[in-house]
């Protein structure tokens, strides 16, 4: 592969590492600047600090092209394109905290002939504000659309690449378009503010889809329909699409909760009350708690009960615990007097700090031992393989709430376990899988 334009990346977090490793894979030399020295040390030793499938292999394969440093000067002396991949967590007011972005921008200064390429999710208007203060440094908005767990694949096979720049900055937008060109994805060239809004609106829309299907699930619970069947039927309409229609315990992670909040606040700060988004956020908050009612249906009281959580991460294939539904659920359960025991195949270490009172088990079976109830919180594939007859024997009360509609109700119920799901009331449900199969409710 021929040598391609060198690239600078600021921030070795999840987005920064995936971006750097994927650009290296495309043949670019990449200098990654990270302020935490221990992180740089471990990356130099070849240790990857996050759980993201394919990332360690990609970093290993492209070691020659990747440099990790704590020095901003190494970036400033080299590449033209500086990708900003730092965190923008929410502040108490719900606004995005731009302090890491601002710190990076300050250190970069205003060098002519270079371009700052913003990957971090920032409020609309941030680009123009930064550019006003640093007029010689070109500014391009190039939001990321990576999903944790499939980020490498999402990067290398994007649906689209959004590149926003204002007039006069075409050289920088062209340069960014050039480095994405080998991926063969449609490139959306637009102005700076619209690019920033595309990112926020995309996440808000996906979050809206999830809250919508969760509300449909809640109605299904009342009226006896099965939300998975409803979603299947809805999703075949291409105007709706079948993605992001999985009802469950609500959305978590570092993006949807933060970005919906940030858009709501951005609208509010500009004098607009974003009513729909307010509801999306509220539905999501309540959804995390709905399991409590499902448990109470079968248990008189939760005081002194042992409740097992299967999975803690905000979704499978990641160890990310940010805004995970498990955090709210565990503390609600503890608040009701239950003892919570949990197992997660990769998030245990991160979860320990956040859930100090939760007993961490070494395996799914160990979590279920002697439990009065279990809740499937994260749809890790290994949970679908459990020996349900053995689970029924081990639990002191075989009650399972499937918070992600992930398990096969027939197999679970056949083992004598009381099975509850989200929007799949345990009256007779009809499943169509190759042929029609009647599933008898069993309580
Ligand atoms: C999300 C977006 O999907 C990415 O496009 C975006 O780039 C990223 O945020 C970001 O802004 O950085 P991510 O947070 O990694 O990606 O994960 P998702 O797969 O979108 O899941 C988010 C949450 O929604 C999870 O808690 C998941 O369990 C939940 N979800 C997702 C549902 O409850 N139902 C669904 O149908 C889909």
Locate the ligand 1 atom nearest the alpha carbon of residue 245 and give its number.
36
Please, which pLDDT band fits residue 443 given cuts at 50, 70 and 90?
very low
Instruction: Note the pLDDT tens digit of each residue in 387-403.
Output: 999 999 999 999 999 99
Distance 31 CA to ligand 1 centre (A): 29
* pLDDT at position 172: 97
Distance 251 CA to ligand 1 centre (A): 7
Instruction: Note the pLDDT tens digit of each residue in 87-146.
Output: 999 888 888 899 999 999 999 999 999 999 999 999 999 999 999 999 999 999 999 999
User: Can you tell me which residue has the tokens 């930064």?
Assistant: 130
Question: Is the C-beta atom of 332 inside 6 A of ligand 1?
Answer: no
Question: Is the C-beta atom of 314 inside 6 A of ligand 1?
Answer: yes
Please, which pLDDT band fits residue 276 given cuts at 50, 70 and 90?
very high
What does the pLDDT average to over 158-174?
96
* pLDDT at position 1: 46
Please, which pLDDT band fits residue 171 given cuts at 50, 70 and 90?
very high
Distance 207 CA to ligand 1 centre (A): 8
Locate the ligand 1 atom nearest the alpha carbon of residue 121 and give its number.
11
Question: Is the C-beta atom of 248 inside 6 A of ligand 1?
Answer: yes
Cβ burial of 140 (10 Å; 0-12, 13-18, 19+) is buried
What does the pLDDT average to over 274-302?
95
Cα angle for residues 419, 425, 430 (degrees, 5° grid): 95
Question: Is the C-beta atom of 418 inside 6 A of ligand 1?
Answer: no
pLDDT over 50 (residue 354)? yes
Strand, helix or coil for residue 232? helix
**Tokens encoding 104:** 């990076």
Pocket test for ligand 1, best of 121, 315, 324 (most atoms within 8 A of CB): 315
Locate the ligand 1 atom nearest the alpha carbon of residue 143 and give its number.
7
* pLDDT at position 348: 93
Question: Which alpha helices (DSSP H) does 189-270 contain, by range?
Answer: 192-223, 227-235, 256-269
Contact criterion met (CB below 8 Å) for 96 and 63: no
Question: Is the C-beta atom of 212 inside 6 A of ligand 1?
Answer: no
What is the C-alpha separation between 100 and 107, in angstroms, rounded? 11
Minimal-distance CA residue to ligand 1 atom 19: 147
pLDDT over 60 (residue 274)? yes
Distance 295 CA to ligand 1 centre (A): 26
* pLDDT at position 433: 40
Contact criterion met (CB below 8 Å) for 158 and 234: no
Question: Is the C-beta atom of 251 inside 6 A of ligand 1?
Answer: yes
* pLDDT at position 95: 86
pTM of the model: 0.93
Locate the ligand 1 atom nearest the alpha carbon of residue 249 and give its number.
33
Instruction: Note the pLDDT tens digit of each residue in 45-103.
Output: 999 998 899 999 999 999 999 999 999 999 999 899 999 999 999 888 888 899 999 99
Locate the ligand 1 atom nearest the alpha carbon of residue 379 and give its number.
28
* Mean residue pLDDT across the chain: 93
Please, which pLDDT band fits residue 376 given cuts at 50, 70 and 90?
very high
What does the pLDDT average to over 19-28?
97
What does the pLDDT average to over 338-345?
98
* pLDDT at position 428: 43
Return the CA Rg of the chain: 24
Which residues are marked as active site?
A: 255
What is the total residue count of the chain?
A: 443
* pLDDT at position 157: 98
Question: Is the C-beta atom of 398 inside 6 A of ligand 1?
Answer: no
φ, ψ for residue 195, nearest 5 deg: -65, -45
β-strands 418-420, 81-84: how paired? Answer: unpaired
* pLDDT at position 430: 43
Instruction: Note the pLDDT tens digit of each residue in 183-233.
Output: 999 999 999 999 999 999 999 999 999 999 999 999 999 999 999 999 999
User: Percent of the chain, pLDDT > 90?
Assistant: 92
User: Percent of the chain, pLDDT > 70?
Assistant: 95
* pLDDT at position 93: 86
Minimal-distance CA residue to ligand 1 atom 6: 145
Question: Is the C-beta atom of 194 inside 6 A of ligand 1?
Answer: no
Distance 21 CA to ligand 1 centre (A): 22
* pLDDT at position 90: 87
């Amino acid at each position: 592969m021929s040598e391609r334009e060198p690239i600078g990346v600021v921030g070795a977090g999840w987005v920064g590492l995936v971006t750097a490793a994927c650009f290296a894979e495309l043949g670019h030399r990449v200098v990654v600047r990270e302020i935490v020295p221990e992180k740089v040390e471990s990356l130099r030793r070849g240790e990857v600090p996050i759980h993201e499938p394919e990332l360690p292999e990609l970093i290993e394969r492209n070691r020659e092209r990747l440099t990790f440093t704590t020095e901003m000067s190494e970036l400033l002396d080299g590449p033209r394109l500086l990708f900003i991949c730092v965190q923008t967590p929410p502040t108490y007011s719900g606004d995005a905290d731009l302090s890491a972005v601002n710190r990076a921008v300050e250190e970069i200064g205003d060098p002519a002939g270079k371009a700052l390429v913003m990957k971090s999710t920032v409020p609309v208007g941030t680009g123009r504000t930064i550019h006003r203060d640093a007029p010689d440094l070109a500014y391009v908005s190039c939001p990321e659309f990576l999903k944790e767990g499939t980020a490498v694949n999402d990067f290398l096979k994007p649906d689209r690449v959004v590149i926003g720049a204002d007039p006069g900055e075409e050289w920088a937008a062209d340069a960014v378009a050039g480095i994405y060109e080998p991926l063969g994805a449609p490139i959306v060239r637009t102005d700076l503010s619209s690019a920033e809004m595309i990112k926020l609106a995309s996440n808000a829309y996906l979050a809206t889809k999830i809250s919508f299907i969760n509300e449909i699930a809640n109605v299904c619970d009342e009226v006896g329909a099965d939300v998975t069947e409803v979603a299947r039927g809805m999703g075949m309409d291409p105007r709706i699409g079948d993605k992001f229609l999985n009802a469950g315990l609500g959305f978590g992670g570092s993006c949807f909760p933060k970005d919906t909040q940030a858009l709501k606040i951005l609208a509010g700060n500009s004098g607009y009350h974003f009513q729909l988004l307010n509801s999306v956020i509220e539905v999501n908050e309540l959804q995390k708690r709905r399991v409590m009612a499902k448990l109470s249906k079968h248990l008189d009281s939760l005081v002194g009960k042992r409740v097992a959580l299967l999975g803690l991460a905000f979704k499978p294939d990641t160890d990310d615990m940010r805004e995970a539904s498990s955090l709210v659920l565990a503390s609600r359960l503890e608040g009701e007097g239950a003892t919570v025991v949990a197992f997660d195949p990769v998030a245990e270490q991160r979860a320990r700090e956040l859930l100090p009172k939760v007993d961490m088990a070494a395996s799914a079976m160990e979590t279920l031992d002697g439990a009065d109830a279990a809740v499937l919180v994260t749809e890790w594939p290994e949970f679908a393989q459990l020996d349900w007859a053995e689970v029924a024997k081990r639990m002191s009360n075989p009650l399972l709430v499937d918070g992600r509609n992930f398990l096969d109700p027939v197999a679970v119920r056949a083992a004598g376990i009381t099975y509850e799901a989200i929007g799949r009331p345990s009256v007779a449900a009809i499943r169509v899988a190759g042929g029609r199969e009647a599933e008898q409710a069993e309580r």
